[in-house]
Amino acid sequence: MASKTENSKCVVIPVDSSDNASKAFDWYVSEIHRPGDKVHLLHVHQPVLTGYQGWKFTGEVHDRLEQEKKKVMTLLSDYKAKLKQHKIEGDAHYKISMNTGDVIVEFSEDENIKADIIVIGSRGLGAVRRTILGSVSDYVLHHTKIPVIVIPGHGKH
């Protein structure tokens, strides 16, 4: 990791294939990025585990997981290209978990990352859906000690 200058920061930006994640990345680049910042893009993948029989996965499930992995690798490759395009130092990471919020918090607070800020897109859920489904951005906001910037989504508020 490059040495940080006085004004540089370590930024974690959770990403997925949504417009809201892309909007959060673009907002970071246009509004607060400074030379010397280190950006860690993080994708938390929630695999679709249907069609299994006991502890033995069928070939269909294995194929599905491989397809999902390809999509994740393409997503991360696209975001790495965006970092390079904007001449931003950083890397892309992925974790597999069913609890996206926990992983984002743990990753950001990890001793090797030590994020100064998290920039996260909001899915823009309406109040009822957010109450029922929960919100990853709300979870992160309330479970980390790191400052969080939530970029609003396109939904109704």
What is the distance between the alpha carbons of residues 86 and 95, in angstroms, rounded to a whole number?
A: 25
Q: For a pLDDT cut of 70, what percent of the chain falls above it?
A: 79
Q: What is the mean pLDDT of the chain?
A: 84
| Helices first, then strands: H and E counts in the chain | 5, 5
Query: Would you say residue 111 lies in a domain?
Result: yes
CB-based contacts of 107-115 (< 8 A; 24+ apart in sequence) = 107/12, 107/40, 107/42, 108/12, 108/144, 108/146, 109/144, 109/145, 109/146, 113/10, 113/12, 113/40, 114/10, 115/10, 115/11, 115/12, 115/40, 115/146
pLDDT of residue 12: 98
Q: For a pLDDT cut of 90, what percent of the chain falls above it?
A: 59
Query: Would you say residue 127 lies in a domain?
Result: yes
What is the domain extent for residue 39?
10-48+79-151
Listed in sequence order, the residues at least 6 apart from 80 whose beta carbon sits closer than 8 Å to its beta carbon are 41, 91, 92
And the tokens for 85? Answer: 């395009």
Look at the chain and report how many structural domains it folds into.
1
Q: What CATH number did the domain enclosing 135 receive?
A: 3.40.50.620
And the tokens for 20? Answer: 């809201």
Tens-place pLDDT, residues 24-46: 999 999 999 999 999 999 999 88
Tens-place pLDDT, residues 83-113: 999 999 999 999 999 899 999 999 999 999 9
HSE-CB for 89 with a 13 A CA cutoff: 12
pLDDT of residue 1: 42
Query: Would you say residue 126 lies in a domain?
Result: yes
Q: Is the Cβ–Cβ distance between 156 and 52 less than 8 Å?
A: no
Confidence of residue 131 (pLDDT cuts 50, 70, 90): very low
